[in-house]
Structure 1
Amino acid sequence: MDTNNFGFDFDALAEKDRDHMIHPWVDLGLTRTREPLIVVEGEGATVTDAKGHRMIDGIGGMWCVNVGYGRNEIAEAIAEQARRLCYFSPFGIIATPPSIDFAARLAAYAPGDLKHVFFTTGGSTAVDSALRFVSFRNNFLGKPKKKHIITREYAYHGSTLLSASVSGKPADRGNMDLITDYIHHLPVPNPYRRPEGMSLEAFCDAKVADLENKILELGPENVACFIAEPLLASGGVIVPPPGYQRRTWEICRKHDVLYISDEVVTGFGRLGHVFASKPVFDIEPDIITCAKGLTSGYVPLGAMLVSDRLFADLTATAGKGQFFANGYTYSAHPVACAAGMANLDIIEREDICGRVRENGPYFQQRMAELLELDMVGDVRGSQFMVCVELSADKKNKTVPPTNWDYAWRIFEKCRPKGLMVRPLSHLVILSPPLVITRAQIDETVEVLKQGIQEVADDLTREGLRTKA
């Protein structure tokens, strides 16, 4: 029996996990043999596993624990609201004070006229609701042919049928039935993979042209919307070339195509602002989706923010007797909204966004040192979003064979040294809590550097790499 001062019997927990848990995104062939990582406690930017081992959480839970672990203020807000009113139906014209107040506070931060908020249960349902809203609105306005959705390869927008269909990560599409007749994926705007000798400016021109050409090919009268993460997060922290976001937004305006900015990851401080669309990318989308940092992961909650201009079309005289038949039992959950309010209080009081703007460039600068390693092909990102792309041949940007398992090996090297990273094939992704200190940033980089070098040495000994 493996126990620790938390009182957990690790072996018993691990056995129950193998016998009963179905995990998302796990290699099904390894579920009976790989030991689970069981996390039991968190504080600030660190977590502790069931064996008592403490680690810097380099992935912020899943892009979401923005204000850090162990925030009693949020826990107290959750408990107080649960005691007062744990739940009430959100359907029809029914609301609770936390949901009304939180909607108003979000609207105050939103760019332009995005002043109406529809609460959901998470990011997937926020995206699903946004896409359904666009479809509903076009039908309402007598434009039933305006249905086509344009998205991008390597995008990630969620796990409902509709949100998964607009996602574009190749690894997520195997054995899944997806909508294909009215959803269209553009080539990914990844500067690292642009043609040899092409400038960033020319690459940006080409990627913007991809969007306009697709709209013209389908016919603007048939295209409902373009959905885009400002930075493609789970697809590898892909940072489009400068000006891309603004120019694609202008193309949508030109052709009467709605622009949905998926800020599930980039919102609530991750890029130094509550919403990044306007201050970072100079766009005022028609719809913004958000989740994750909305409550810093303390309880599930998502939202879509809709332009007054779009909503006004539906609420005039013609709207009488019409219903937007989309919602969830836990939409605008009062406990979740109370958590979101407390989370936003911390973001404001501690100027979390300002801290990100101060420490984010330092994080990027330190992470860029990994480019000195032969196995590292690219280090990219912005503020507290980073991807380290590993390469079998740095000069030719060769993607390593999957059986080399680069990122997982690095994950396994870093854990005992006190760092959690997110392994995705040949990508190592980091998105730490926004309260991470500079000393913890330094430790993160040093541990990751050691982990990568040790894996490179192992691969060389195994004959899978030639030492540079």
Structure 2
Amino acid sequence: MQRRDAGFQSVREWDNANFLHPWEGMETLGQNDRTFTESGEGIYVTTETGRRLIDGPGGMWCVQLGYGNAEIADAMARQAREMAYFSPFNNASSVSARLAHEIAQRSPGDLNHVFFTTGGSTAVDSALRFVHFRNNVLGRPEKKIVISRHKAYHGSTYLAASVSGKERDKSWLDQAPGLAHFLPDVNPYRRPAGMSIDAFLDEKVADLENAIRAIGADKVAAFIAEPILASGGVIVPPKGYHRRCLEVCRKHDVLYISDEVVTGFGRLGHWFASEEVFDIVPDIITCAKGMTSGYVPMGACIISDRLIADVAGGNAKGATFSNGYTYSGHPVSAAAALKTIEIIEREGILEHVRKVTPLFQERMHAMRSLPIVGDTRGMGLVGCIECVTETAGTDPLATDRALGALIDTRCQELGLILRPIINMCVFSPPLVISESEIEQMFDIMEQGIRLAADDFAREGAA
């Protein structure tokens, strides 16, 4: 492993000069002092200086089985030696066919057709393109609008970004005109003072039905929803929300897309959260991230038999679903996914997640006793601690960012990586995390938040 020395400083300079990172702040381009994670084992990563840190976000919600899993690495190597690539446009491969079958076996209802993609964004893009394709074949070219939510995140490719509702992600980028209609925030923490959860739930369901009626059911193609709005701040809608929204969609012939890019493959203790946790069988599920445990890129769009039947065989009208990727069903990715599925089942990882979830959630919610913590929320092994300040100053957003940065810095000094989203501490550790490691993670988090609160108070006074 390279350590920070004269040689590594060159690497840092290359990173700043040549690697344009996702969500790059252009004002500080070329001036960043990023942490380099150079190796990993279990829930820990090791930095360029040799420091060992708990990976609180689990990479980017994805390293389900932790770092350094030799079985996954060996499966990838074997597949690369045997058959590194095949053209999914012209040929098939047994490893990819087997993976499609294994996913279909674990998907709810009649979601049996698996379209492989390169990640979550392209999975959402493919789902939207299929929805539009189906309506074109059915002779309904005007039925194209997709309803989403503010704070929802569905990806950064053009169509996926167009149905994402995180307002600051759209400030400087274009989106597909007329494609999406956004409903108000579904975060119970933001409900009006004095409003009950039941009343808030009724209002959120009414948002959807009112929008369909106002736009016209003949023009609304689909409603896309994350079971938990992950990048929006781990927003958990009120109980029964998804079931009631599905009923509204069925009533108005609107398809329901469940974006399980984050929640799929064990994050909530089940292969998919849609049916097992939220009691719905959607028309389409998108997934990615945890399906290969983050070891190699891959995603999928899983489509119901009913939808496929509408555009196949005698109903096809000569149409071709001309959507695809050079790396759809890539055999090395498929091998990593198959090995991930095998390990999850053999090691009882889903059961483990359900076992340790109560401790994880209990420790997280205990943070509400800290003076600057406004809300804690989550399910399974995903959570968010939202911190607040009494005085926002002249620039509330800048104040929130400063607070989040202080917490991030303090926690990393103590041995924990977080994912700061403005003033929110978001975390989704590897699913293999033990109870003692959960205790360690939250001990650090509590200390880091306390120290950051003291820092913030001193800086505010200054």
What TM-score bracket applies, with the shorter chain setting the length? over 0.9
* CA deviation after TM superposition for structure 1 residue 33, in Å: 2.9
Tell me, yes or no, if the aligned pair for 2:143 and 2:218 is still in contact at 8 Å.
Answer: yes
* Cα root mean square deviation, aligned: 1.8
In the alignment, what sits opposite 1:366?
A: 363
In the alignment, what sits opposite 2:380?
A: 383
Where structure 2 has 5 or more consecutive residues not aligned to the other structure, the ranges are none
Say which SS state the counterpart of residue 435 (structure 1) adopts. coil
Tell me, yes or no, if the aligned pair for 1:264 and 1:292 is still in contact at 8 Å.
Answer: yes
CA distance in structure 2 between the aligned counterparts of 1:115 and 1:266, rounded to whole angstroms: 19
Tell me, yes or no, if the aligned pair for 1:392 and 1:399 is still in contact at 8 Å.
Answer: no
Q: Deviations over 1:364-419 (max 9, x none)?
A: 1001111111111001010111011111139x9x9954245111211111112110
**Residue 119 of structure 2 corresponds to residue 122 of structure 1:** yes
Aligned length: 460
Tell me, yes or no, if the aligned pair for 2:309 and 2:315 is still in contact at 8 Å.
Answer: no
* CA deviation after TM superposition for structure 1 residue 255, in Å: 0.7
Tell me, yes or no, if the aligned pair for 1:399 and 1:426 is still in contact at 8 Å.
Answer: no
CA distance in structure 1 between the aligned counterparts of 2:460 and 2:169, rounded to whole angstroms: 30
- Please show how residues 39-118 of structure 1 align to structure 2 within 5 Å: 39-92=37-90, 94-118=91-115
The match for 1:457 among 449, 454, 457 is: 454
Letter in 2 for 1:311: I
Deviates more, 1:178-187 or 1:120-129: 178-187
Tell me, yes or no, if the aligned pair for 1:156 and 1:164 is still in contact at 8 Å.
Answer: yes
CA distance in structure 1 between the aligned counterparts of 2:274 and 2:447, rounded to whole angstroms: 36
Letter in 2 for 1:402: A
* CA deviation after TM superposition for structure 1 residue 7, in Å: 8.8
**Residue 243 of structure 2 corresponds to residue 246 of structure 1:** yes
* CA deviation after TM superposition for structure 1 residue 328, in Å: 0.4
In the alignment, what sits opposite 2:309?
A: 312
* CA deviation after TM superposition for structure 1 residue 464, in Å: 5.2
Tell me, yes or no, if the aligned pair for 1:10 and 1:51 is still in contact at 8 Å.
Answer: no
CA distance in structure 2 between the aligned counterparts of 1:216 and 1:106, rounded to whole angstroms: 36
Letter in 1 for 2:99: F
CA distance in structure 1 between the aligned counterparts of 2:328 and 2:204, rounded to whole angstroms: 37
Deviates more, 1:361-370 or 1:312-321: 312-321
* CA deviation after TM superposition for structure 1 residue 243, in Å: 0.4
Letter in 2 for 1:451: G
In the alignment, what sits opposite 2:11?
A: 13
Tell me, yes or no, if the aligned pair for 2:148 and 2:224 is still in contact at 8 Å.
Answer: yes
- What is the aligned-residue identity percentage? 54
Tell me, yes or no, if the aligned pair for 1:386 and 1:431 is still in contact at 8 Å.
Answer: yes
Tell me, yes or no, if the aligned pair for 1:117 and 1:304 is still in contact at 8 Å.
Answer: yes
* CA deviation after TM superposition for structure 1 residue 443, in Å: 1.1
Letter in 2 for 1:18: N
Tell me, yes or no, if the aligned pair for 2:406 and 2:455 is still in contact at 8 Å.
Answer: no
Say which SS state the counterpart of residue 115 (structure 1) adopts. strand
In the alignment, what sits opposite 1:402?
A: 398
CA distance in structure 2 between the aligned counterparts of 1:234 and 1:399, rounded to whole angstroms: 23
Tell me, yes or no, if the aligned pair for 2:137 and 2:317 is still in contact at 8 Å.
Answer: no
- Please show how residues 189-208 of structure 1 align to structure 2 within 5 Å: 189-208=186-205
Where structure 1 has 5 or more consecutive residues not aligned to the other structure, the ranges are none
CA distance in structure 2 between the aligned counterparts of 1:80 and 1:7, rounded to whole angstroms: 35
Cα gap change, 1:309 to 1:294, in 2 (>3 Å): same
CA distance in structure 2 between the aligned counterparts of 1:272 and 1:300, rounded to whole angstroms: 22
In the alignment, what sits opposite 1:432?
A: 429
Normalising by structure 1, report the TM-score.
0.95
**Residue 32 of structure 2 corresponds to residue 34 of structure 1:** yes
In the alignment, what sits opposite 2:321?
A: 324
Q: Deviations over 1:104-126 (max 9, x none)?
A: 00001110000110000000000
Say which SS state the counterpart of residue 55 (structure 1) adopts. strand
* CA deviation after TM superposition for structure 1 residue 36, in Å: 1.4
Say which SS state the counterpart of residue 285 (structure 2) adopts. strand
Letter in 1 for 2:167: P
Tell me, yes or no, if the aligned pair for 1:8 and 1:50 is still in contact at 8 Å.
Answer: no
Say which SS state the counterpart of residue 105 (structure 1) adopts. helix
* CA deviation after TM superposition for structure 1 residue 3, in Å: 6.2
